[in-house]
Amino acid sequence: MGGHPPDGADAAAEWERLIHPEDWDEHLAHRERLRRGESSEVRYRLRGYDGVVRWIHARTRPIHKGGKVIVDGIVSDVTRQVEAEQQLARALAELEKLSSINEQQALHDPLTGLGNRRKLLLRLDAALERGGDLLMALFDLDGFKRYNDTFGHPAGDALLVRLATRLRDVMPSDAAFRFGGDEFLILAPASGDVESLLAAAADALSEEGKGFEISASFGAVLLPDEAAEPSSALQLCDQRLYNEKSRRSARRGRPQDVLLEALNAREPNLEIHSSDVAGLAVAVGARLGLKDEAIARLEQAALLHDIGKIGIPDSVLCKPGPLSDEEWKFIRRHTIIGERILAASPALTDVARIVRSTHEHFDGAGYPDGLRGQAIPIEARIISVCDAHASMISDRTYRPALSQAQALAELARCAGTQFDPAAVESLTAFVAADQPRPLVG
């Protein structure tokens, strides 16, 4: 044991003196088993005469011989074996720790710490198997892309972390998930106030600051009433989310509303004129038998038929007197400018085509393309007549308003040349009947 005992020392007493203090109880238990006549094995530490601590393994048994009890056995130095076992135990503990970390990472979003899609599906399967009513809602952040583009991706990540923390704080335990990108999802019992839960989640996923506003649209599903398995539930959530985002987009303002605001800011009288033209055009279109879809398109085009005048210089647009030939060239460009502005919005592509043709003449003498007769879109032919009528019965800086009779006479004179005769006839009949103009909206 790392040296020799002093001469004359009692071997048993010296052995016990070398036992590590922390292992003394092991030795006493071993000694008690031997006293009872039992075989015993023990492993503990000894501190050698050289100061080195070693592990020993003792396998002993009591032997009765000549009225005495003699302990017979083998004592082995197992230090290397114990150290190898300890090293293996440490490695296994580290592996278990890493496994736990990997499992955590496999089920949680690394950025926000919320459960990820995999964890959601596991929880959803388990919840549906257990039974009970559940609320599942998929949220999408409105304005996040613009925030990311404006402030950068690190700021965008920080925002996601803030919103995720708020969502976790207001939801039941383990009910919040990051579904991917800027989408979050909640899965919670539907036993309480579902509306309040949804409102709390939407509020948690909202933030407003200088130069930005983040809000959350969502689609919600009640399980199992509306969907009985995960894929159909997620599909229904996604569809309802899409519908909600579409409704929100519409509420924030149709493209035509945004453009009309810009037109009104440039020349307030043009918005009033466009509204008058649209009201009259809807009535004429209805008399001509246009279907609802065509009338809706006609109304949009009538409201926006002068949008291209945004690109005309004020010196020309607001000139109090007659225009020169050069100035008329500017004015005639407004239909092309309007088409380009409107065509930038996919929702207004058909309207853009109509607006381009609102100054074509029935006999082919108009602009910008010299279209003739039926080649001119019917909506453009109607707007052309209604635009002329609304202009004639309104005061201008260079002339007073014409009477209704004078305006109708002028339209009749130009029917077949500048205007579609059918549109002129329909407008005249409408005005003669003195019908109230339909509301535009």
Residue 103: pLDDT over 80: no
Residue 8: pLDDT over 70: no
In this structure, of 50-59, 285-294, 380-389, the range with the lowest mean pLDDT score is 50-59
Residue 441: pLDDT over 50: no
Residue 158: pLDDT over 90: yes
Residue 434's CB is within 10 A of a number of other CB atoms, namely 7
Show the domains of the chain with their CATH numbers: 11-80 (3.30.450.20), 117-251 (3.30.70.270), 255-432 (1.10.3210.10)
State pLDDT tens for residues 186-219. Answer: 999 988 788 899 999 999 999 988 778 899 999 9
Crossing angle for the helix pair 153-170 and 194-204, to the nearest 10 degrees:
150
| pLDDT value for 116 | 92
In this structure, of 1-15, 119-133, 183-197, 347-361, the range with the lowest mean pLDDT score is 1-15
pLDDT band for position 435 (50/70/90)? very low
| pLDDT value for 6 | 65
Mean pLDDT of the chain: 85
Cβ proximity of 16 and 31 under 8 Å: no
Residue 54: pLDDT over 50: yes
Mean pLDDT of 239-246: 84
| pLDDT value for 199 | 92
* pTM, full prediction: 0.44
Closest CA to 245 of 138, 348, 142: 142
State pLDDT tens for residues 386-434. Answer: 999 999 988 776 678 899 999 999 999 999 999 999 999 999 999 887 5
Residue 254: pLDDT over 90: no
- Residue 281 token pair: 């055009």
| pLDDT value for 437 | 45
Let me know if 222 is exposed, middle or buried by CB neighbors in 10 A (0-12, 13-18, 19+). middle
- Residue 111 token pair: 């950025």
Mean pLDDT of 350-378: 95
Mean pLDDT of 144-156: 88
- Residue 74 token pair: 């083998």
pLDDT band for position 438 (50/70/90)? very low
Any residues with CB less than 8 A from the CB of 356 and at least 6 apart, and which?
A: 335, 336, 338, 339, 368, 369, 380
